[in-house]
């Protein structure tokens, strides 16, 4: 990337991929008998409660990451890595058809792509490798001596975390916030949308849709996301919110 950075931040779950890669990895671990099943089922139950409106987003994220980490406790890291590759061999075919053209479009326009998503790094790295993206960050679960410890190092899908991750991965570069692009579908993307000049809500979940309407953020579907992106990149830069860059 050049010293003056125009970044394009891409979410994965529900945005580039029709589902949640972390859930697919968890189900594969359960099927293989390779994790603590009761704790893994707890993750799925928390996600169900959120979708039913019984939990708010922050509570859901905290509980889900905690239980996910506990489900991995004591498991060998290479066991999870191997299953992540196996899951990805199937999941890679489900990436939305617009994904590769979108990455190409952004690169041609001079953007450096950054993938930041809430699923575990073990899965998000597979997406980045597939798309040739060098900067990628997913959830990080604590490791020691080749095993998971049951702790969480980074809850990448929690509210506000994507903005902090963005600052960390772009630190030291001259970032033009007003020309940076962000694509995502959920409330966890909102902090970045507030700061960056070119936010695009992709088939947004209800809470993000409300915010998009209030803030005047562009909205796209899988059918028109390439067109909406071209329009945003061609438009005069809007003033980004005056929040400091780390």
Tell which wins on pLDDT, 242 or 6: 6
pTM, rounded to two decimals: 0.92
pLDDT at 167 over 90: yes
Tens of pLDDT along 213-228? 999 999 999 999 999 9
Q: Could you say which DSSP state residue 17 is in? A: B
List the alpha helices (DSSP H) in 73-160: 77-91, 99-108, 121-131
DSSP-based three-state secondary structure for 238? coil
Q: Which residues of 169-206 are buried (b: 16+ CB within 10 A; e: fewer)?
A: bbeeeebebbbbbbbbbbbbbbbbbbbbbbbbbbbbbe
User: Tell me, what's the pLDDT at 172?
Assistant: 87
Q: How confident is the model at residue 238 (pLDDT cuts 50, 70, 90)?
A: low
Residue 131 has pLDDT above 50, yes or no: yes
- Asked whether the predicted pLDDT for residue 93 surpasses 50, the reply is yes
Residue with tokens 């390779």: 34
Question: For 149-156, what is the mean pLDDT?
Answer: 97
pLDDT tens column, 15-40: 999 999 999 999 999 999 999 999 99
Residue 2's pLDDT band (cuts 50, 70, 90):
very low
Query: Quick one: pLDDT at residue 3?
Result: 57
Predicted local confidence at residue 181, as pLDDT: 97
**What single-letter DSSP state applies at residue 94?**
G
Say if residue 241's pLDDT is above 50: no
| pLDDT for residue 1 is more than 70 | no
In 3D, which of 122, 115, 127, 166 has the Cα closest to residue 141? 122
Q: Which residue has the higher pLDDT, 2 or 90?
A: 90
Mean pLDDT (the chain, rounded):
93
| Per-residue confidence (pLDDT) for residue 246, from 0 to 100 | 40
Per-residue confidence at 237, pLDDT binned at 50, 70, 90?
low
């Amino acid at each position: 990337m050049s010293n003056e950075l125009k970044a394009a931040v891409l979410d994965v779950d529900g945005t580039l991929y029709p589902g949640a890669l972390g859930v697919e990895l968890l189900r594969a671990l359960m099927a293989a008998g390779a994790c603590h099943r009761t704790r893994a089922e707890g993750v799925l139950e928390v996600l169900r409660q959120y979708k039913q409106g019984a939990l708010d987003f922050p509570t859901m994220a905290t509980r889900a990451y905690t239980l996910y980490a506990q489900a991995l406790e004591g498991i060998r890291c290479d066991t999870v890595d191997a299953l992540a590759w196996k899951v990805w061999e199937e999941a890679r075919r489900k990436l939305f058809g617009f994904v590769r053209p979108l990455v190409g479009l952004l690169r041609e326009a001079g953007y450096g792509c950054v993938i930041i998503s809430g699923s575990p790094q073990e899965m998000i790295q597979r997406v980045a490798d597939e798309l040739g993206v060098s900067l990628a960050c997913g959830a990080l679960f604590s490791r020691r001596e080749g095993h998971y410890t049951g702790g969480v190092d980074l809850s990448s899908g929690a509210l506000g975390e994507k903005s902090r991750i963005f600052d960390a991965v772009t630190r030291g570069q001259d970032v033009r916030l007003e020309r940076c692009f962000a694509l995502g579908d959920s409330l966890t993307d909102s902090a970045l949308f507030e700061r960056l000049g070119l936010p695009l809500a992709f088939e947004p979940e209800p809470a993000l849709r409300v915010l998009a309407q209030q803030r005047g953020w562009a909205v796209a579907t899988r059918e028109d996301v390439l067109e909406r992106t071209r329009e945003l990149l061609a438009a005069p830069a809007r003033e980004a919110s005056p929040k400091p860059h780390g």
